[in-house]
Structure 1
Amino acid sequence: MKKIFCILCHKVTNPLLYTVNYLSSFDENIILIHVDAKSTMEEFEAFTAKNVFFVKERVDISWGGFSLVDSTIKIFNEALNFDFDYMFLISGDDLPCMNNQEINDLLSSIEMRNLVHYQDQRNTYVDPLLRVRYDYPKYFYKKDKNFVEKVKARTFRLIMPFYVSRRFKQDAHKVAQFYKGTNWISLNQKTLHALMAFINTNDWYRDLFHHSFISDEVFFHTALKQIGVTDNYHDENKLNDALRYIDWTTGPDYPRTLDSSDLAKIKASGCVFTRKISSGIPYEFFEKLIQ
């Protein structure tokens, strides 16, 4: 089965090394990597397999801003230049929880349905409109805010109704409904082609999100609904419909940085990928994951 793995990253970590080296060892797989424009490419020269490629037009990615959507658009567009049956979007902090054959078997068993999770009773609900409706000030796009910035952010939430985006006022009516979910999605070839055809021919849709906040969790989910994609996998007994093991509950950081103490839970989850993995995780951990 021809699979393409689209990876968004900014540095070479152990999880990235293990993932790329393992998946690229199968000729049926293509690895396409977008490296944050702030990073140099020298350390990525370690990846020499013939089926590993890099996105040429790189984006300077900042937390919470449109740049993560932009980098994803670019990697998806470049993916369409390759011959593939199924695409996975992952980060440099991910590891596969299945070996290559198990991934193929899973895709066959779900009849190549899309692995896209829309928030439901398994999650704490977040109103997607809050991500899109307003023009957020620059200090919102800083993950580790100082005390003054935290106070400013709290104050802004009180006056948000006065900062509705001009683009939202102009074009939001064109969207039937806004949706949110995990940004780590997996799509069959037909769906990815349809998604990018919509995005690439509707500038108003991209512009609608330019001043939004953490919109990568809304942009693609809303677009998929807008174009009427219905061939999605769904199983409420799983952790989520994206089949990604991500721990948002136990801490101390959110999402939790996973280590060997999480191995049994990851293995039992039935997920395809897990994140976020410690950058220095030993190879033995990865070996046990895909056994």
Structure 2
Amino acid sequence: MNEIAILIIAHKNQTQLELLLSNLADDFDLYVHIDKTSAINKEELTAKYPNIRFYSKLHVVWGGYNLSACSLFLFQQAYKGNYKYYALISGQDLPLLSNEEIKNFIYKNDSSYIVSDKLPIKHWAYNGGINRYELYWEHDITGNSLWDTFRRKLIGNIRKIQLKYNTRRPFYKGMDVYGGSNWVLLRQDAMDYLISFIDENPRFMKRLKYCFCTDELWMQTILATSNCKIKNEHITHLDWGTGPEYPRTLRIEDYDNIRKKTCPFARKFDSEVDNEIIEKLLDSRNSSI
């Protein structure tokens, strides 16, 4: 039985996703959530990869609650397998190390990897991130009906009133809020703690609705003050500084810089933007096996 589960949140580029799956499937148990509105053919992938668990439960939009809910859903599904380690990545990630090297990295360090700092975070927008949860946001309303349009405008106006009169929403039970990357590696002790907390505090996730980008807040807040063995480090290399996208969609000119990184994974890649970097990284990775 594999001791490492890799959880993947995917929404586009089926061919690129299949490259990721085919490079990992032999050595890890994979749990893949495909966006409910995605053009990716879940039935085709299920037939092609019978040992991979595929789900298509939620529609995930940037900034909305469902990215947090999707992460938790995958954690809950994989937790049933009683693994020692759980890595959460996206369908636009690539492994930088061979599968054996990824395993060695995980076993040698024997720790959770969660980037987590107490808010306010100086370089974060929206009042150091505090406005993400103290104000109301409309990203969870994704429909195009007149009712949905009205609700979006209503919540936007409520936020303006909050800012004008400085009216804020307290966080769950007065907890200090921590934030960081949502792409993490959880050791079994951290996963036990996380799942237990959610089970014992069912209202916690509900508090995240009508907030903004809580995928970078929820598990970080729960685990930051635990006694679990955690390194405040990335398992996934990202470029937040170069642009033009944030994080940057990595291109062939980034190749040399990426190869210097020691993280097991890197993101984000898009075959529709630059497929050459994907092919070159995977060729380099597989040539070392």
Which bracket does the TM-score occupy, shorter chain normalised?
0.7 to 0.9
Decide whether aligned partners of structure 1 residues 203 and 173 sit closer, same or farther in structure 2, where only a CA change above 3 A counts. Answer: closer
Distance 1:136 1:123 in 2: 21
Residue in 1 that maps onto 2:184:
185
Residue in 1 that maps onto 2:76:
77
Distance 1:36 1:192 in 2: 24
Residue in 2 that maps onto 1:287:
283
Residue in 1 that maps onto 2:24:
23
Contact conserved, 1:116 with 1:233, CA < 8 A, in 2?
yes
Which deviates more from structure 2 when the two are superposed, residues 31-40 or residues 86-95?
31-40
Q: Say which of 268, 271, 284 aligns to 1:276.
A: 268
Matched residue of 1:104: which SS? helix
Decide whether aligned partners of structure 1 residues 135 and 89 sit closer, same or farther in structure 2, where only a CA change above 3 A counts. Answer: same
Contact conserved, 1:244 with 1:274, CA < 8 A, in 2?
yes
Distance 2:142 2:160 in 1: 14
Q: Deviation string for 1:231-251 (max 9, x for gaps)?
A: 1124xxxxxx12311111111
Matched residue of 1:285: which SS? helix
Offset of residue 156 of structure 1: 5.0
Distance 2:96 2:105 in 1: 12
Contact conserved, 1:36 with 1:60, CA < 8 A, in 2?
yes
Distance 1:130 1:244 in 2: 26
Residue in 2 that maps onto 1:176:
175
Offset of residue 285 of structure 1: 3.0
TM superposition score normalised by structure 1 = 0.81
Matched residue of 1:6: which SS? strand
Q: How does 1:108-147 map to 2 (within 5 A)?
A: 108-110=107-109, 112-119=110-117, 124-125=123-124, 127-137=128-138
Residue in 2 that maps onto 1:53:
53
Offset of residue 160 of structure 1: 2.2
Offset of residue 3 of structure 1: 1.1
**Match for 1:225: what amino acid?**
A
Offset of residue 134 of structure 1: 1.3
Q: Say which of 251, 265, 271 aligns to 1:259.
A: 251
Q: Which runs of 5+ in 2 are unaligned?
A: 144-151
Q: Deviation string for 1:227-272 (max 9, x for gaps)?
A: x1441124xxxxxx12311111111221111122211111111111
RMSD: 3.0
Offset of residue 140 of structure 1: 9.5
Q: How does 1:137-216 map to 2 (within 5 A)?
A: 137=138, 156=159, 159-160=162-163, 162=165, 164=167, 168-169=169-170, 172=171, 174-216=173-215
Matched residue of 1:257: which SS? coil
Matched residue of 1:68: which SS? helix
Decide whether aligned partners of structure 1 residues 103 and 157 sit closer, same or farther in structure 2, where only a CA change above 3 A counts. Answer: farther
Offset of residue 125 of structure 1: 4.0
Q: Deviation string for 1:170-197 (max 9, x for gaps)?
A: xx36243100101111101221122011
**Match for 1:86: what amino acid?**
Y
Instruction: Give the fraction of aligned pairs with identical amino acids, expressed as a percent.
Output: 23
Q: Which runs of 5+ in 1 are unaligned?
A: 143-148, 235-240
Contact conserved, 2:137 with 2:156, CA < 8 A, in 1?
no
Q: Does 1:243 align with 2:239?
A: no
Displaced runs of 4+ in structure 1, greater than 4 A? 138-142, 152-159, 161-165
Distance 1:135 1:91 in 2: 27
Q: Deviation string for 1:103-128 (max 9, x for gaps)?
A: 11111221x200111249x9824523
Decide whether aligned partners of structure 1 residues 4 and 136 sit closer, same or farther in structure 2, where only a CA change above 3 A counts. Answer: same
Offset of residue 50 of structure 1: 3.9
Distance 2:140 2:194 in 1: 31
Q: Does 1:221 align with 2:213?
A: no
